[in-house]
């Protein structure tokens, strides 16, 4: 099912709000809504589900205008951040719930069979008679997914699906969700504030800030071509230096970088800590080492440029230099933006 | 905690003398203020023998008072239960203007003396009151009759159920209802198969407390009932009446019935609290909120 959001607006008394978001999600696509807290990503998801109504704009499921269809009839599978499993029902009863209350009548045998099928799908066959409180967080999340899939939803929506889990459980579940999605081919939209999760899982990433889409594209596109300094920062560690832009060049402490097509005036360059080389031969921006931090597979160096701007960069564990030594920073793949 | 070495000074409250003094004070006060009076009721009720006790209970006025009390409870408790559930539901699952004010208003009967409630009912429904003449013209009798007694009892016990439910339902949030609705359940279905099972013990607890208070209510009822022996006397009022008749044994006999009801309530309450504790196995009200229970690997 293709989903289209057309200029959707939602106002709250509090800070959460969505300002005119338009978005197309192709049938069978797995899309991540990525943004910091308060960026409106969960509100968008809840509007697609029908758990919130849009103040303006429209939401289409295929060609049908779903904007005013109540959640009950919208045919979405929603997975909540804290699972929202019914604590007084067993795992099997939780999964069967949607089929039991459905307007489409199913025989008890048909329901039992479907429950078994879904338990196999989420690899929890032995846990049918357990209660949610008796299983682990990762298992609960899989039950929540099975329950959402039981009603054959047109769209699967997940709100921070792995937010409440341990890091390694999270990674396993991520890969597993991708596998399930590839098997079922159901259009899926999920919300996360974790860029690694979004890049790992999604076909396409939609990055939000303050209730607006700032960039959307494949993980490759957003990683290689961040649209602005916010995206660059949000996707990972980044250094930022003030720059002067004059005639298509960005000058940082007398070192010039390409800045084609950016108007003269104030600007900034951003670059990843891995894209810095420490040199002693005078090429690059003059800097002094402030601190060296050891990590299992690398060394993180904190340095200060000639005019007092901090820069962090990663080096091999064998990096021989120490606090107080002076040298030069050679920057690869810098990204130049006009000052915000 | 295991490092409580001998040479070290005790932690706060661990001092033996302190403990002994504290326990003595508490036990003494419990004995004097709670246990002794209850024992006296039992002893005095049977002071003139079991036959007299039986006669006192069998007295038509006493029997009528018991009946009236039960009828009052049968009307007031279900209504207040329905009100409590509705109020808790509205306050915890919906946003509306004046929500905080409503929360405060529901609590008013707790802080107002019941006699004030009784007197205010006089002013509303009494002959000199707001609706007095209209009611008289329509020949509807509220004061000095069952409706007045029920209304006064309901006022006093209005907060009991809501107060038990609101904190629980607030902690549960709306996720479960949203999940049920997104799976296609109707509002009623959601309430009966998702909301209600998760609040049932708290609800019953509130009902039990509400019931015991309705049956024991004296102040508000005494103002509106008119104290007509055999007609509008509830059990607590009847006990007072017997006492003023210098019928101490009869009064204590009636009181023992009320105390008996209280003991039944107490047992029900403890049983319910057990059930509440039992929810650890039949997992907690907050399915999502993590790991109140340890993780179980398959």
CATH number of the domain that residue A331 is part of: 2.40.50.140
Q: Do A71 and B284 touch (CB under 8 A)?
A: no
Residues of A in contact with B282 (CB under 8 A): 87-88, 131, 133
User: Is the pLDDT assigned to residue A46 strictly greater than 70?
Assistant: yes
Q: Where are the domains of chain B?
A: 14-45, 49-278
Residues A22 and A154 in one domain: yes
Total length of chain A: 340
Residues A283 and A331 in one domain: yes
pLDDT at position B30:
95
pLDDT at position B285:
41
* pLDDT tier, B225 (very low <50, low <70, confident <90, very high otherwise): confident
Question: In this complex, is the C-beta atom of B2 within 8 Å of any C-beta atom belonging to chain A?
Answer: no
Q: Do B189 and A101 touch (CB under 8 A)?
A: yes
Q: Can you tell me whether residue A279 is helix, strand or coil?
A: strand
Q: Do B178 and A71 touch (CB under 8 A)?
A: yes
How many interface pairs between A and B have CB atoms less than 8 angstroms apart? 115
Residues of B in contact with A74 (CB under 8 A): 182
Residues A117 and A150 in one domain: yes
Question: In this complex, is the C-beta atom of B104 within 8 Å of any C-beta atom belonging to chain A?
Answer: no
Calculate what percentage of chain B has a pLDDT beyond 70: 88
pLDDT at position A262:
86
Whether pTM > 0.90 for this model: the answer is: no
Which one of A211, A231, A251 terminates a domain?
A: A231
Total length of chain B: 298
Q: Do B183 and A140 touch (CB under 8 A)?
A: no
Q: Do B194 and A86 touch (CB under 8 A)?
A: yes
Question: In this complex, is the C-beta atom of B99 within 8 Å of any C-beta atom belonging to chain A?
Answer: no
Question: In this complex, is the C-beta atom of B94 within 8 Å of any C-beta atom belonging to chain A?
Answer: no
Chain A residue closest in CA terms to B172: A84
Encode pLDDT of B117-147 as tens digits.
888 888 888 777 777 788 888 888 888 889 9
Residues A261 and A225 in one domain: no
Q: Do B198 and A87 touch (CB under 8 A)?
A: yes
Number of domains in chain A: 2
B window 183-242, beta carbon within 8 A of A: 183-186, 189, 193-194, 197-198
Chain B residue closest in CA terms to A156: B182
Q: Can you tell me whether residue A321 is helix, strand or coil?
A: coil
A window 49-78, beta carbon within 8 A of B: 49-51, 71-74, 76-78
Q: Do A77 and B182 touch (CB under 8 A)?
A: yes
CA separation for the pair A91, A115 (Å, rounded): 9
CA separation for the pair B298, B287 (Å, rounded): 18
Q: Do A85 and B286 touch (CB under 8 A)?
A: no
pLDDT at position B56:
85
Which one of A231, A253, A274 terminates a domain?
A: A231
Look at B211 and B296; give whichever has higher pLDDT.
B211
User: Is the pLDDT assigned to residue B5 strictly greater than 70?
Assistant: no
Encode pLDDT of A98-142 as tens digits.
999 988 889 999 999 999 999 999 999 999 999 999 999 999 999
Which one of A204, A231, A258 terminates a domain?
A: A231
Q: Can you tell me whether residue A329 is helix, strand or coil?
A: strand
Residues A214 and A280 in one domain: no
Strand partners of residue A330? A277
Residues A145 and A218 in one domain: yes
Nearest to A49 by CA among A66, A33, A71: A71
- What kind of fold does domain B49-278 have according to CATH? MetI-like fold (1.10.3720)
pLDDT at position A14:
65
Minimal Cα–Cα distance from A33 to chain B, Å? 20
Residues 6+ apart with CB under 8 A from B248: B44, B47
Residues A211 and A297 in one domain: no
Q: Do A137 and B295 touch (CB under 8 A)?
A: yes
Average pLDDT value for chain A: 92
CATH number of the domain that residue A59 is part of: 3.40.50.300
User: Is the pLDDT assigned to residue A184 strictly greater than 50?
Assistant: yes
B window 245-284, beta carbon within 8 A of A: 280-284
Domain of A104, in residue numbers: 3-231
Of A51, A84, A136, the CB nearest to B287: A84
Average pLDDT value for chain B: 83
CB A80 within 8 A of CB A131: no
Residues A205 and A256 in one domain: no
Residues A155 and A69 in one domain: yes
Nearest to A190 by CA among A214, A159, A221: A159
CA separation for the pair A246, A254 (Å, rounded): 12
Residues A84 and A190 in one domain: yes
Mean pLDDT of all residues in B159-181: 91
Residues A189 and A270 in one domain: no
Contacts 24+ apart (CB under 8 A), B268-271: B268/B204, B268/B208, B269/B205, B269/B208, B269/B209
Torsions phi, psi of B20, nearest 5?
Answer: -60, -45
Lowest mean pLDDT among A190-194, A279-283, B1-5, B22-26: B1-5
Mean pLDDT of all residues in B263-289: 60
Question: In this complex, is the C-beta atom of B95 within 8 Å of any C-beta atom belonging to chain A?
Answer: no
Mean pLDDT of all residues in A228-242: 93
Q: Do B182 and A49 touch (CB under 8 A)?
A: yes
């Amino acid at each position: 099912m293709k989903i289209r959001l057309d200029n959707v607006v939602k106002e709250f008394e509090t800070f959460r709000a969505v300002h005119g978001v338009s978005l197309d999600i192709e049938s069978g696509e797995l899309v991540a809504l990525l943004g910091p807290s308060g960026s409106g990503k969960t509100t968008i998801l809840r509007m697609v589900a029908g758990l919130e109504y849009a103040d303006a704009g429209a939401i289409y499921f295929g060609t049908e205008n779903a904007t005013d269809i109540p959640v009950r009839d919208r045919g979405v599978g929603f997975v909540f951040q804290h699972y929202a499993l019914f604590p007084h029902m067993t795992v099997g009863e939780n999964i069967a719930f949607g089929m039991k209350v459905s307007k489409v009548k199913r025989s008890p045998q048909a329901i039992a069979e479907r429950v078994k099928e879904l338990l196999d799908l989420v690899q929890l066959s032995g846990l049918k008679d357990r209660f949610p409180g008796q299983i682990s967080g990762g298992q609960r999340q899989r039950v929540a997914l099975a329950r959402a899939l039981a009603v054959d939803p047109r769209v699967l929506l997940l709100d921070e699906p792995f937010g409440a889990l341990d890091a390694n459980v999270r990674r396993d579940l991520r890969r597993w969700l991708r596998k399930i999605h590839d098997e079922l081919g159901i259009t899926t939209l999920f919300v996360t504030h974790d860029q690694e999760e979004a890049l790992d899982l999604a076909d396409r990433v939609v990055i939000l800030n303050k209730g607006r889409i700032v960039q959307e594209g494949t993980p490759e596109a957003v990683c290689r071509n961040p649209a602005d300094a916010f995206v660059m920062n949000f996707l990972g560690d980044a250094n930022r230096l003030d720059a002067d832009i004059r005639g298509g060049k960005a000058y940082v402490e007398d070192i010039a970088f390409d800045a084609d097509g950016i108007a003269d005036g104030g600007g900034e360059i951003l670059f990843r800590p891995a894209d810095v080389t420490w040199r002693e031969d005078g090429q690059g921006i003059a800097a002094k080492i402030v601190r060296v931090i050891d990590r299992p597979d690398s060394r993180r160096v904190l340095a200060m440029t000639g005019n007092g701007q901090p820069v962090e960069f990663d080096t091999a564990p064998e990096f021989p230099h120490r606090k107080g030594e002076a040298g030069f920073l050679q920057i690869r793949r810098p990204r130049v933006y006009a000052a915000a | 905690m295991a490092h409580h070495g001998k040479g070290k000074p005790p932690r706060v409250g661990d001092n033996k003398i302190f403990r002994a003094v504290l326990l003595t004070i508490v036990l003494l006060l419990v004995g004097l203020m709670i246990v002794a009076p209850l024992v006296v009721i039992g002893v005095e009720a049977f002071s003139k023998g079991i036959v007299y006790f039986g006669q006192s209970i069998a007295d038509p006025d006493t029997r009528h008072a018991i009946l009236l009390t039960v009828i009052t409870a049968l009307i007031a408790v279900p209504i207040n239960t329905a009100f409590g559930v509705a109020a808790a539901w509205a306050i915890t699952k919906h946003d509306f203007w004046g929500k905080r004010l409503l929360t405060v208003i529901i609590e008013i009967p707790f802080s107002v003396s019941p006699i004030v409630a009784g007197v205010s009912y006089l002013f509303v429904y009494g002959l000199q009151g707001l609706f007095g003449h209209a009611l008289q013209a329509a020949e509807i009798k509220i004061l000095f009759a069952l409706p007045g007694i029920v209304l006064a009892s309901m006022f006093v016990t209005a907060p009991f159920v809501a107060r038990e439910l609101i904190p629980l339902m607030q902690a549960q949030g709306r996720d479960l209802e949203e999940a049920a609705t997104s799976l296609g359940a109707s509002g009623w279905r959601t309430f009966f198969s998702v909301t209600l099972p998760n609040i049932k013990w708290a609800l019953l607890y509130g009902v039990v407390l509400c019931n015991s208070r309705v049956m024991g209510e004296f102040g508000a009822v005494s103002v509106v009932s008119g104290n007509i022996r055999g007609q509008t006397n509830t059990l607590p009022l009847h006990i007072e009446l017997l006492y003023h008749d210098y019928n101490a044994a009869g009064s204590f006999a009636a009181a023992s019935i009320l105390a008996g009801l209280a003991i039944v309530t107490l047992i029900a309450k403890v049983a319910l609290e057990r059930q509440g504790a039992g929810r650890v196995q039949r997992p907690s009200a907050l399915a999502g909120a993590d790991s109140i229970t340890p993780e179980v690997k398959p």
